[in-house]
Structure 1
């Protein structure tokens, strides 16, 4: 049975508050959501794939570009991530300009970022929601938490991920663009299986989650991920109480590998990453 399109559900607008948990896996959400919320859960298909098979430019950027390809009138975005911003931060996402899509953006990432953690803490998102609720009481909200995406809060900033928000002229930016270009060129003429082997070889540099797994073990990595998800759900509970008469949905932009098939993170064109929760709060 094919999964329903998340994009279609989003644009049908049968919600007033849409909460996005970045990199939230369906199975992990399914396992613990009942400790915090009640409602109806189903699995849907996210449009988080791009055409770079060797080295992805990042799932959130692709998801935003593919999902919000037309104006969302009357929607305010409460953003914990600089990928959605109103202050002209260069996200190198040429086909997605957040200010052209949404009525307004609350840049929580701008004033709520915790340098010591390398992320926007989930409690700061609730502050942004309160601002949006007071300022835009008649508009719908999309609320984007960074968690359960790393860095993992339980580590207290010991493992700060490179966010991907690098200048195209920097050393990291040049390397990133080079990988994308190489991936597209190789994919155009190599047989599929050979290309997959090369993809795995060129992407073998340890990712933050992989480093954590090597230092603490896969089980502890998954525990850190679960704790990040729980930290977000605690704050989601508070948001739900703020809107007792509104239709609220919780979803995600993409999934996350935590060592399955030897993969970590989400820079892979694997169907598993497109399977995300769609939870209608009751």
Structure 2
């Protein structure tokens, strides 16, 4: 679930070492992958699932003005790779089209062994924004509407990157150098980032503000029952558990409330779609390993 290098880093830094102890607690000494209290998103009732990456429930509740009824759910994951493994792996999802700004599915597709009708990798060349080192939410929205028109009889999963880093609001652009591809939330945990929690919160909130209008556009244009949710949350200086270390980011294998309580906003727009399952529509285009690694580095994963 996590690598030998992470263990070595944990041994070298007290805060990281405490995190590793907490991770062992949450994963039952590494025997458990994924949060057992979390929901299976494909067993829930929806036609369109709009996923915000790393969006906390409390932040969403305070900031959004979207139509619909807001509830909460508990996620199976504290990291996108866990979310995919816990929800997609070894599933027959031929009634579903996945539009994603994240390279995580492509990176893990062979291990996931999921059968989807189509996967639209927006993060490839046409969708990637070279200046901001991410996929902008308006780009995701355009790809999603095209997919909905082409696959009108399929469930639609749309995975935005925001509010996940890189920060593309004014505070984030001022304080974070997007030309440095070695961003890690661990540097906040170890005290090496040099950025205050207040600045981090502001940058994160601005990233949510950037994506919400494009989420609303999809909600009002997509037919049927739409749910807005998140793959996982985010920690920004809260105390983890059971050992009370101040933690940051969304490390896999930690299932604190900030990391697994996610929004579940329900909105119905017109009649429900008739959903049918079919074989895969096309094969994924090959992408070089270097491109995948570069995208993940830009997003702060490597």
The answer to whether TM tops 0.5 is yes
CA distance in structure 2 between the aligned counterparts of 1:211 and 1:137, rounded to whole angstroms:
49
Identify the match of residue 21 of structure 1 among 33, 52, 61. Answer: 52
Q: Distance in 2 between matches of 1:83 and 1:95?
A: 11
> Paired residue for 2:73?
44
In the other structure, the counterpart of 2:248 is 264
Partner Cα distance (1:27, 1:21) in 2: 14
Secondary structure of 2:213's counterpart equals helix
Q: Distance in 2 between matches of 1:249 and 1:104?
A: 20
Q: Which residue number in structure 2 is paired with residue 248 of structure 1?
A: 226
Distance of aligned partners of 1:135 and 1:205 in 2 relative to their CA distance in 1, 3 Å threshold: closer
What CA RMSD, in Å, does the superposition of the two structures yield over aligned residues? 2.8
1 CA distance for matches of 2:166 and 2:190? 9
- 1:31 has 2:31 as partner: no
**Residue 133 (structure 1) shift:** 1.9
Distance 1:106 1:209 in 2: 37
User: CA distance change for structure 1 residues 119 and 211 in 2, over 3 Å: closer, same or farther?
Assistant: farther
The reply to whether residue 12 of structure 1 matches residue 28 of structure 2 is: no
Unaligned runs of 5+ in 2: 1-35, 240-245, 269-302
Task: Evaluate the alpha carbon distance shift between residue 207 and residue 114 of structure 1 in structure 2; reply closer, same or farther with a 3 A threshold.
Answer: farther
Number of residue pairs aligned between Structure 1 and Structure 2: 219
Is the alpha carbon distance of 1:112 and 1:163 closer, same or farther for their aligned partners in structure 2, counting shifts above 3 Å? Answer: farther
Which segments of 5 or more consecutive residues in structure 1 lack a partner in the other structure?
50-58, 86-90, 165-202
Determine if contact 2:186/2:249 at 8 Å carries over to the other structure.
Answer: no
Deviation for aligned residue 1:135: 1.3
Higher relative contact order by CA 8 Å / sep ≥ 6: 1 or 2? 1
| Contact 1:159 1:208 (C-alpha < 8 Å) held by counterparts | no
- Kept in 1, the 8 Å contact 2:51–2:229? The answer is yes
- Out of 108, 113, 120, the position equivalent to 2:122 is 108
Match of 2:26 in 1: none
Question: Is the alpha carbon distance of 1:211 and 1:123 closer, same or farther for their aligned partners in structure 2, counting shifts above 3 Å?
Answer: farther
Deviations 1:111-159 (A, max 9, x none): 2111221211111101111220221122110000000010100234724
Contact persistence 1:61–1:93 (CA under 8 A): no
Partner of 1:82: 103
Q: Secondary structure at the match of 1:64?
A: helix
Instruction: Give TM-score, length-normalised by structure 2.
Output: 0.65
1:218 to 192, 197, 209: 197
Cα 1:47–1:232 shift into 2, 3 Å:
same
Q: Distance in 2 between matches of 1:13 and 1:204?
A: 32
Measured against aligned partners, the alpha-carbon deviations of 1:13-49 in whole angstroms (never above 9, x if no partner) come to 521100000000000001112x2x1222222111116
For the residues of structure 2 that align with 1:32 and 1:45, how far apart are their CA atoms? 20
Query: Post-superposition shift, 1:73?
Result: 2.4
**Is structure 2 residue 144 aligned with structure 1 residue 129?**
yes
* Cα distance between partner residues in 1 of 2:144 and 2:182: 23
Which residue of 137, 152, 157 corresponds with 1:142?
157
